[in-house]
Amino acid sequence: MSRLVTDTMIVAERNLVRLTRAPDLLLAFTVQPVMFVLLFVYVFGGAILVPDFYDSYVAFLLPGIIVQNIAFGGFVTALGLNEDLHKGLIDRFRSLPMARPAVLAGRTLADVVTNALSVVVLVVTGVIIGFSFDASLIEIAGGFGLLLLFGYAFSWIFALLGLIVSSPEAANSLGFIAVFPLTFISSAFVPVESMPAGLQWFAEINPFTIVVDAMRALWVGAPAHNSVWGAVAWSLAIIAVFAPLAVSRYRRAAGN
Partner 1 sequence: MVPAMPTRMEEPMTEARTPVSSDPELAISVRGLRKSFGDVHALDGVDLEVAPGTVLGLLGPNGAGKTTAVRVMATLLAPDAGEVCVAGLDVVKDAAKVRERIGLAGQYAAIDENLTGLENLVMVGRLYGMSRAAATVRARELLDRFDLIDAAGRPAKTYSGGMRRRLDLGAALVAKPPVLFLDEPTTGLDPRSRLEVWTTIEELVGEGRTVLLTTQYLDEADRLADRIAVIDRGRVIAGGTPDELKDRVSGERLEVRLTERADAQAAVRALSAISDEPPLADGDTVTVGVRRRAGVIVEAVRRLDEAGVGVDDITLRRPTLDDVFLSLTGHVAESDADDKPEEKPA
- Which residues contact partner 1 by CB under 8 A? 3, 6-7, 10, 13-14, 17-18, 21-22, 86-89, 91-98, 254-256
Classify residue 248 by burial, with Cβ atoms within 10 Å: 0-12, 13-18, 19+. Answer: middle
User: At closest approach, how far in Å is the CB of 134 from partner 1?
Assistant: 42
User: At closest approach, how far in Å is the CB of 130 from partner 1?
Assistant: 39
Which ranges of 22-130 would DSSP assign to H, the alpha helix?
23-39, 57-72, 75-87, 89-95, 102-128
Smaller CB distance to partner 1: residue 7 or 111?
A: 7
Nearest C-alpha neighbor of 82 from the set 205, 241, 250: 250
Smaller CB distance to partner 1: residue 225 or 251?
A: 251
Question: How many Å apart are CA 121 and CA 119, to the nearest integer?
Answer: 5
User: At closest approach, how far in Å is the CB of 156 from partner 1?
Assistant: 21
Provide the sign of the torsion angle of the four alpha carbons 92, 94, 96, 101, taken in this order.
positive
Smaller CB distance to partner 1: residue 97 or 198?
A: 97
Smaller CB distance to partner 1: residue 8 or 186?
A: 8
Q: Which residues contact 160 (CB under 8 A, 6 or more apart)?
A: 242, 245, 246, 249
Smaller CB distance to partner 1: residue 87 or 225?
A: 87
Smaller CB distance to partner 1: residue 7 or 213?
A: 7
User: At closest approach, how far in Å is the CB of 86 from partner 1?
Assistant: 8
Q: How far is CA 91 from CA 7, 100, 165, 178, 253, in A?
A: 16, 12, 17, 28, 8
Nearest C-alpha neighbor of 233 from the set 203, 209, 210, 202: 210
User: At closest approach, how far in Å is the CB of 105 from partner 1?
Assistant: 13
User: At closest approach, how far in Å is the CB of 6 from partner 1?
Assistant: 8
